[in-house]
Amino acid sequence: MARVAVIGSGIGGLSAAIALRAKGFEVDVYDQASELSEIGAGVSLGGSGMRVLDALGLGPAVREASANLHRIEFHHWLSGDIFYQHPMGSWYEQRFGGPFLGIHRADFHQILLSAYGDKPHLGHRCVALRESPDGVDLEFANGSTTHADVVVGADGLRSTVRAHVGEPDEAVFSAMSCFRGLVPVDRVPGGDRFGLTFFLGPGRHLVAYPVRGGELINFVAYVPDPEWTQESWSARCAPEDAVAAFHGWNPVVTTLLANAVETGRWALYDREPLRTWSTGRVTLLGDAAHPMLPHAGQGTNQAIEDAAALATYLESDLPLHEALQRYERLRKPRTRQIQLGSRANATCFQVPDGPPADERNARLQGLPQMVGWIHEYDVYAAMETGSEA
């Protein structure tokens, strides 16, 4: 079986490594981080991602570590009035073939690490790739080198592998950043009843949901700010900065922001959809291929779907180059549409009160129909029907 080097041990890289090992590939994972620490807050997992995790045997562990989001609610930023709500929980599971979960990224990462079964090669920042008919030579910043038959670039928004594969491009700054944090549930008014909760207002919005079996409420509070450009998962700020940015909002919002155990601030970037993801032996996966703004909650799900597709095509009888092309053809249209849709969502969430908000709220009544295509997607069925065409 081919030897695969996966660059990046995030959610995408580890999912790919697990899926590839399950098919019998020899896999090594390399990451620039010198240690894997508990950085990050909540991520959401929907039906399409859970279908893959179930197939990989990870469903029970993931469900146990998560919170099942039993309803979705959209609130007015000031009054707190609900202008759209819908059950999720078992309704979602029946409709979309898997649950909708909130999970702490660190908990999820730990589950993936255990399933992978090895330690990734840490302190290995990939700096160069040389591709030949015999394979790919990889160079790392620590001076070490390795050789692989196939390389998967799962190295995130600032991917080095992307620069080898695709046309040169720059990350696109959205002029928006977000405050992120986790709050013990007993410090949030009505916290034990939280599902997937939105507060939408002019020029700002907040999304919150439980993680870790409901012990913690994860929030992400979005503000326009062309000055804050630091794109880092470890950048911290004072909780008061977040409270000040939402001054005058409903007390549920300001209480959430004021009670964060730790507040992070993260500038939001994505990239334009790529025209080419793969060369003869190298391909991209997850944020390296299709970094997206978080407004559709799909970054993690799309990386997991990628992993299932890549492993299936690589295992097929197709020549390597053709297998990578098929993978790319399957994944590109869907992830492109979600990348562009995520951009559009931010604008729609933050329209002013009055007719623009009324129109948005009227459209929200059709939410399950609008987003069904994202959540019901079955990557295995799509490969069988060859729906990339």
Ligand X SMILES: Cc1cc2nc3c(=O)[nH]c(=O)nc-3n(C[C@H](O)[C@H](O)[C@H](O)COP(=O)(O)OP(=O)(O)OC[C@H]3O[C@@H](n4cnc5c(N)ncnc54)[C@H](O)[C@@H]3O)c2cc1C
Q: For ligand X, which residue of 52, 126, 216, 314 counts as binding (CB under 6 A)?
A: 126
Secondary structure of residue 354 in the 3-state scheme: coil
Q: For ligand X, which residue of 112, 221, 303, 382 counts as binding (CB under 6 A)?
A: 303
Q: For ligand X, which residue of 29, 43, 217, 338 counts as binding (CB under 6 A)?
A: 43
Give me the least distance between CB of 369 and ligand X, in Å please.
25
Whether residue 328 contacts residue 35, with contact meaning beta carbons closer than 8 Å, is answered with no
Q: Crossing angle, helix 89-96 and helix 367-375, to 10 degrees? A: 60
Q: What is the spatial distance between Cα 139 and Cα 169, in angstroms, rounded to a whole number? A: 22
Q: What is the spatial distance between Cα 41 and Cα 100, in angstroms, rounded to a whole number? A: 17
Question: What letter represents residue 138's amino acid?
Answer: L
* Residues in 312-351 that interact with ligand X by CB under 6 A: none
Give me the least distance between CB of 359 and ligand X, in Å please.
28
Q: Which of 93, 72, 67 is nearest to 82 (CA)?
A: 72
Q: For ligand X, which residue of 13, 47, 102, 166 counts as binding (CB under 6 A)?
A: 13
* Residues in 104-123 that interact with ligand X by CB under 6 A: 105
Interface pattern 238-277 for ligand X (x via CB under 6 A): ----------------------------------------
Q: What torsion, rounded to 10 degrees, do the Cα atoms 311, 312, 318, 321 define?
A: -40
* Residues in 132-161 that interact with ligand X by CB under 6 A: 154-156, 160
Q: For ligand X, which residue of 25, 31, 148, 200 counts as binding (CB under 6 A)?
A: 31
Closer to ligand X by CB, 113 or 185: give it.
113
Classify burial at 28, counting beta carbons within 10 Å of its beta carbon; exposed 0-12, middle 13-18, buried 19 or more. Answer: middle
Segment near ligand X (CB under 6 A); pick from 62-70, 198-206, 239-247, 287-295 = 287-295
* Residues in 203-242 that interact with ligand X by CB under 6 A: 233
209 is catalytic: yes
Backbone phi and psi for residue 30, each to the nearest 5 degrees, phi listed first: -120, 140
Give me the least distance between CB of 142 and ligand X, in Å please.
11
Q: Is 300 in the site for ligand X (CB under 6 A)?
A: yes
Q: For ligand X, which residue of 46, 191, 201, 294 counts as binding (CB under 6 A)?
A: 294
Q: For ligand X, which residue of 1, 39, 261, 344 counts as binding (CB under 6 A)?
A: 39
Cβ density class 40-76: b for 16+ within 10 Å, e for less:
bbbbbbbbbbbbbbbebebbebbbebbbbbbbbbbbb
* Active-site pick, 116, 209, 222, 327: 209
Q: For ligand X, which residue of 4, 5, 6, 8 counts as binding (CB under 6 A)?
A: 8
Q: How many residues bind ligand X (CB under 6 A)?
A: 31
Give me the least distance between CB of 366 and ligand X, in Å please.
25
Q: What is the spatial distance between Cα 131 and Cα 150, in angstroms, rounded to a whole number? A: 10
Q: What torsion, rounded to 10 degrees, do the Cα atoms 94, 42, 381, 19 define?
A: -130
Q: Is 380 in the site for ligand X (CB under 6 A)?
A: no
Whether residue 83 contacts residue 364, with contact meaning beta carbons closer than 8 Å, is answered with yes
Q: Is 30 in the site for ligand X (CB under 6 A)?
A: yes
Q: Which of 168, 116, 107 is nearest to 8 (CA)?
A: 116
Q: Is 125 in the site for ligand X (CB under 6 A)?
A: yes
Cβ density class 112-136: b for 16+ within 10 Å, e for less:
bbebbeeebbeebbbeebeeeeebb
Q: Is 99 in the site for ligand X (CB under 6 A)?
A: no
N- to C-terminal Cα separation, the chain: 28
Active site residue ranges: 209
Which residue ranges make up the site for ligand X (CB under 6 A)? 7-13, 30-33, 39-41, 43, 105, 124-126, 154-156, 160, 233, 286-288, 294, 299-300, 303
